[in-house]
Structures are given as structure tokens and as C-alpha cells.
């Protein structure tokens, strides 16, 4: 470690900046260190801000003065009133889009919130024990849980989930004084159990943090995707971090090697600050190439498209020189919305993204909810394996009007640019044909009502289920284009949850079997004359670039933050060598052998690889 830090002080910014395993004689440089999985490269120095999930209040949080009992009762009444208004609005919206059955879930929640037994129980506890409203609600929740646990009927036992939803909503409104990051310019490092979509809107997109550290998550999970989109260093799989790191703890983050250091000494701080400046200098030079076209050394144009969640991402894509939006994840509107966005609201949001997209070109993926992307108004899903369960496009049969509302909104917003519609999670031909019929039905509906919309739109599938990859030749006649979603495709192909740290390593893209599967899809698309885009996190990994180009894949969609790196790698690459690199990778028998070979091949065209890639 000491040798590496000394070299970082002396060598140029092409030096490999990754610290080696801790030497015994270097222990005085810091108090504690952790090694995790690097998600997004970079080096950062700052103080921790710990954002843990709100813990359940204890039952003995007493008021400091008996006169505050009335105040606590009023706080409880106010939380009930706000929750009731929310639930009634949610029930109306859900019933309109998903049907009476789904809306009834929230009407039942509203009835529970008006139950005299529940209300009197909470208020009695506040008065009799002189405790805060949160504690009274939590105590009542625990009493309900014990009551439900004695019920033998499994159907009634499952209703405890609805009761918990009501209590969580109350506690949320009673606890809205949640600590926010301090204002100022001092660099902060976000420390959390995991990255949630709500954090993006509240904190992350405001540029307050210089790095992200989590205990759970995988290299292609949604936390990783969010971190890369922000262009800041990120590490996951840091077990025990939250036990020892508190808000204000001084931290060093080396996301090249997945290393985190707590309370570093002055020598280590100086060395890592220098490393951070060198990384920023290299990346800054790469960003300057955003005006350059993405062209290989032998003159072949490679389209670099952007994966985005919102209009801010689309504007960042334009700033980084993207030639369009290759994947707009429309579900993030729904994940961060307090209720169900109606058609007019969706039209407005989609239009904003389309108008912000480079060249107003955008591929809009229909809702990909379920798995780890749950919304309360679809009802509580109890599934043994939600990632392979009732999710994404599979919800269309049960909630057709919900899907039609989104499709109509997309068709209406589409008049403001050049759009394509992408269907996720398609696994067989009958599914695809049903989706095409639904789009035609929406077009007829809009035309009948005289509402402006695009009357012709290219339709494509996101190949992320192995059955679709193997049946690609049968699906191609029914689509106008294909996108390959390597994040989910690899996790399903490898039977490994990409957000589970124990098996997430299996979802790394360097398995020779993965390259063989992708090449099978690419060859089929080329034979059918259908354009193909690779839009998983793999598209932004420089080590994967050469074999992908060797497959003939010349459209890559990635997070805007990594585009400068990929553009630089493209400009130094000759396509004539990529085919041979692909053939060699496919012949490897091991994951590690393929990765070592690709690292060596990529270093020849991108010497700074070890600094700017994980």
C-alpha cells in the first residue's frame, strides 16, 4: 500500500492508482478499512452522511412536558387527515387506471384509518403513558401484529400487510422531519444500506455527494445504474460499514479497487486527494471530446445513445454528445410519484424528455415495474421470486387500461420528436402480438377522438429473457428493431440475482457464454436487416467494447456519464481487429481468462483503462 501511495505522488496520471492489500506496517495510516465491489470508478475524500432507513420508533419515547400530550394528539390527528386524503386520491386514480378491484385496496386502507378502535387506542396510549404519537402508533401496530399472528386463516393473516401499509403511512407523516444532508460546499459521501429511487429526487441529483457507499447491491443493480448515471465513485458490498461509520466520519473512497478507509491519517489524505485530482484531470480531458463524432480509427461511425430516467438525464446526454436516447426508463416517473400519474401528466413528462433528448430522438420503454421496483397502488405482491413473477409486460393482461393509458400518452407526446416504443420482458411470440394489438387499439382510439398523435411508430423488443434470445429469429418478423438488455439477460441466463452480493459476481459480463449468446442475437438481427442496440451497463464498459464491435453491434446505449470514455476508446479502435478479439473471447473456457485477455487488449487502445474503469 505504501509503495502504491508513494508512486501516486510521483508518477503521471497514467499510473495505476489502485492500492494493494494493506501491509502490516501501514496500519497507522487509518483506523479501519473495508473492501467491496466497485460500481463506478473514481476517487473521493470527504465526510460521511449516513442515510439509513427510518427505524421503527420505540414504545417509550415520552413527552418532556405533560402539556405536550395535547400537541401529540393533534399531530396524530393531522397525520391521519393527510393519510386519509392521500388514500382517497390514490383509490380514485387507481380505480380509474387499474379497475375497481385495485382501487378497493386503498378504500379498505382508508376505512381502517377511520376505525374508531384504532384511533381511540392510539390516543389513549398518548394520554395514559405520556408518549409521543410515533410511539403510540408503533405500540398499536405491535398489538395488531400479535392479534393477527394468532389467526389461523392464512388469507386473514395476509391482511396484516395492509395494516402495516397504513401504519407506515402514518409513521411517515409523523416523521417527516427526517435529517437532510447539511448545506455547504464540504464534500460529502453518502453511506446507506442501499440506494433507493426516492434518494435520487431528494439528494443525489442535486450534486451534493462526491461518492456513494452501500452495504448491499450488485454491479448491475439499480443502485449501480444510478451511481454511474451521476458520474461519481460508488462501492457496494461493504458489510459492517454502518456499524462503524457515522455521519461526520472522515472517509477515503477508492472506487477503482473497491476500497474504503475510515479516519485516514494526514499522509493518506494527501495521497488520495492527489489521486482524486489526477482522476478528475483525466476524466476532464475525456469530456472535452464530447463534440467529436464517435468514429473508429478506420472510419466506421458508432452511435452512442443514452440511457435516461428523466429530462435532466436527457439534457446531460445532449451535453455529453449523445446522438439520441436509446432507453428512456418510463417507470421512474411512477416510482417517484405519490399516486398514479394520469394520462395528461404522462404526456407532459414524456414530452419534456423527448424535447430534451439529443436530436429529439428517443426510445421509450413501456413500464417495467415489479421485482425490486414496487409501487403501492398495484397492491402488495407476495411472490416467492418476484424477479421471475408477475412483473413488467406480464401485467398487461390484468391491467390493460393501465397499459393503454401509458401507450396513448407516449403516442401523443411522440409528435414532438422521433420516437420508438420498446417492450420489456417479452418471452414469447403471443405476448408480442398482443402488445402490437394494444398499440393499434390506442391509435384507433386517439384518431376517433381527434387527439393529435403519431400515426406510425417503430415497435421493438428488449431482449432480456433467454427464451427471447434463443427464439430471436421467430420474433424478428414482428418487430422493427431490437435492443438487448444485458443487465437482466445475464442475471436470468446465469440464474443469479444481480443485487445479491453473494452471487452478483456471476452477473459480470465477461463469461464467454454471454458473448456467445449476444453474438447469436446480433447475427440474427443482421441477417434480418433489423437494427440492434445494446443498452445494458455492458455498453459502457470499455473492456467489453472490442468484442461487441466485433459482433457488428454499432449502436450502444449507456449512462451519459461514461460516454466520454467510450468515445475515446472507439476513436482508438480499428474494427478489423475486433472480429478476431471476439473469436478469441468466445473460445475461452473461463470467466477469469476472458477478463484478463480483454483487459490486455483494451489497454493497448486505452492506456488509462485501469484508472477510469472498474
Q: Tell which residue, 474, 483, 510, 333, has the closest CA to residue 423.
A: 483
Q: Which residue has the cell 403519431?
A: 454
Count of other CB atoms within 10 angstroms of residue 58: 12
Enumerate the β-bridge partners of residue 421: 364, 459
Helix ranges, 496-587 (H):
512-528, 542-550, 563-571, 575-587
**Cα–Cα distance, 359 to 355 (Å, whole number):** 8
User: How is residue 203 written as a grid cell?
Assistant: 439528494
Count of other CB atoms within 10 angstroms of residue 161: 13
**Cα–Cα distance, 269 to 422 (Å, whole number):** 47
Count of other CB atoms within 10 angstroms of residue 336: 17
- Helix/strand/coil for 614: coil
472: buried, middle or exposed (CB in 10 Å: 19+, 13-18, 0-12)?
Answer: buried
> Annotated active-site positions, please?
222, 535
Q: What is the 3-state secondary structure (H, E, C) of 61-126?
A: CECCCHHHHHHHHHHHHHHHHHHHHHHHHHHHHHHHHHCHHHHHHHHHHHHHHCCHHHHHHHHHHH
Distances (CA, A) of 181 to 48, 176, 247, 260, 356: 10, 14, 10, 21, 29
Amino acid at each position: 500500500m505504501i509503495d502504491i501511495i508513494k508512486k501516486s505522488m510521483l508518477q503521471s496520471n497514467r499510473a495505476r492508482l489502485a492500492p494493494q492489500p494493506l501491509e502490516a506496517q501501514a496500519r497507522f495510516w487509518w483506523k479501519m478499512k473495508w473492501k467491496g465491489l466497485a460500481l463506478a470508478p473514481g476517487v473521493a475524500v470527504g465526510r460521511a452522511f449516513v442515510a439509513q432507513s427510518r427505524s421503527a420508533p420505540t414504545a417509550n419515547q415520552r413527552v418532556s412536558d405533560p402539556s405536550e400530550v395535547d400537541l401529540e394528539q393533534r399531530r396524530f390527528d393531522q397525520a391521519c387527515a393527510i393519510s386519509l386524503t392521500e388514500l382517497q386520491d390514490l383509490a380514485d386514480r387507481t380505480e380509474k387506471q387499474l379497475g375497481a378491484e385495485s382501487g378497493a385496496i386503498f378504500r379498505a386502507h382508508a376505512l381502517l384509518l377511520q376505525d374508531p378502535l384504532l384511533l381511540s387506542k392510539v390516543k389513549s396510549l398518548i394520554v395514559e403513558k405520556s408518549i409521543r404519537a410515533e410511539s403510540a402508533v408503533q405500540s398499536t401496530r405491535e398489538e395488531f401484529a400479535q392479534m393477527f399472528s394468532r389467526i389461523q386463516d392464512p388469507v386473514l393473516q395476509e391482511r396484516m400487510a395492509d395494516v402495516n401499509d397504513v401504519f407506515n403511512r402514518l409513521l411517515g407523516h409523523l416523521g417527516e422531519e427526517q435529517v437532510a444532508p447539511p448545506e455547504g460546499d464540504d464534500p460529502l459521501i453518502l453511506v446507506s444500506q442501499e440506494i433507493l429511487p426516492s434518494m435520487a429526487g431528494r439528494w443525489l441529483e442535486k450534486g451534493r455527494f462526491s461518492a456513494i457507499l452501500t452495504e448491499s447491491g450488485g454491479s448491475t443493480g439499480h443502485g449501480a445504474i444510478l451511481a454511474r448515471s451521476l458520474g461519481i465513485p460508488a462501492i457496494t458490498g461493504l458489510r459492517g460499514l454502518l456499524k462503524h461509520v457515522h455521519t461526520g466520519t472522515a472517509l477515503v473512497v477508492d472506487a477503482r479497487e473497491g476500497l474504503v478507509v475510515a479516519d485516514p491519517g494526514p499522509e493518506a489524505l494527501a495521497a488520495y486527494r492527489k489521486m482524486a485530482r489526477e482522476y478528475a484531470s483525466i476524466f476532464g480531458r475525456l469530456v472535452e471530446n464530447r463534440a467529436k463524432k464517435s468514429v473508429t480509427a478506420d472510419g466506421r461511425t458508432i452511435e452512442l445513445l443514452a440511457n435516461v430516467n428523466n429530462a435532466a438525464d436527457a439534457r446531460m446526454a445532449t451535453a455529453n454528445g449523445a446522438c439520441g436516447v436509446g432507453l428512456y426508463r418510463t417507470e421512474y416517473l411512477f416510482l417517484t410519484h405519490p399516486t398514479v400519474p394520469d394520462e395528461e401528466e404522462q404526456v407532459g413528462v414524456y414530452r419534456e424528455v423527448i424535447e430534451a433528448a439529443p436530436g429529439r430522438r428517443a426510445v421509450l420503454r413501456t413500464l417495467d415495474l415489479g421485482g425490486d421496483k414496487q409501487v403501492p397502488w398495484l397492491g402488495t405482491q407476495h411472490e416467492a421470486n418476484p424477479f421471475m413473477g408477475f412483473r413488467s409486460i406480464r401485467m398487461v393482461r390484468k391491467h390493460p387500461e393501465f397499459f393503454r393509458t401509458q401507450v396513448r400518452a407516449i403516442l401523443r407526446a411522440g409528435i414532438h420528436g422521433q420516437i420508438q416504443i420498446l417492450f420489456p420482458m417479452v418471452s414469447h411470440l403471443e405476448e408480442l402480438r398482443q402488445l402490437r394489438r394494444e398499440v393499434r387499439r390506442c391509435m384507433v382510439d386517439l384518431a376517433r377522438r381527434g387527439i393529435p398523435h403519431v400515426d406510425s411508430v417503430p415497435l421493438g423488443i428488449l431482449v432480456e429473457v433467454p427464451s427471447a434470445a434463443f427464439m430471436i429469429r421467430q420474433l424478428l418478423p414482428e418487430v422493427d428493431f431490437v435492443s438487448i438488455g444485458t443487465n437482466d439477460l445475464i442475471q436470468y441466463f446465469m440464474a443469479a440475482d444481480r443485487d445479491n452480493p453473494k452471487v452478483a459476481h456471476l452477473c459480470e459480463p465477461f463469461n464467454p457464454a454471454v458473448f456467445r449468446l449476444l453474438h447469436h442475437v446480433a447475427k440474427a438481427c443482421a441477417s434480418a436487416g433489423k437494427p440492434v442496440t445494446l443498452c445494458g451497463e455492458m455498453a459502457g464498459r470499455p473492456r467489453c467494447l472490442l468484442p461487441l464491435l466485433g459482433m457488428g453491434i454499432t449502436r450502444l446505449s449507456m449512462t451519459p456519464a461514461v460516454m466520454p470514455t467510450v468515445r475515446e476508446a472507439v476513436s482508438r479502435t480499428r474494427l478489423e481487429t475486433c472480429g478476431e478479439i471476439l473469436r478469441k473471447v468466445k473460445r475461452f473456457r473461463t470467466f477469469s481468462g476472458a477478463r484478463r485477455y480483454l483487459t490486455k487488449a483494451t489497454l493497448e487502445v486505452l492506456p488509462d483503462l485501469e484508472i477510469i474503469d472498474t
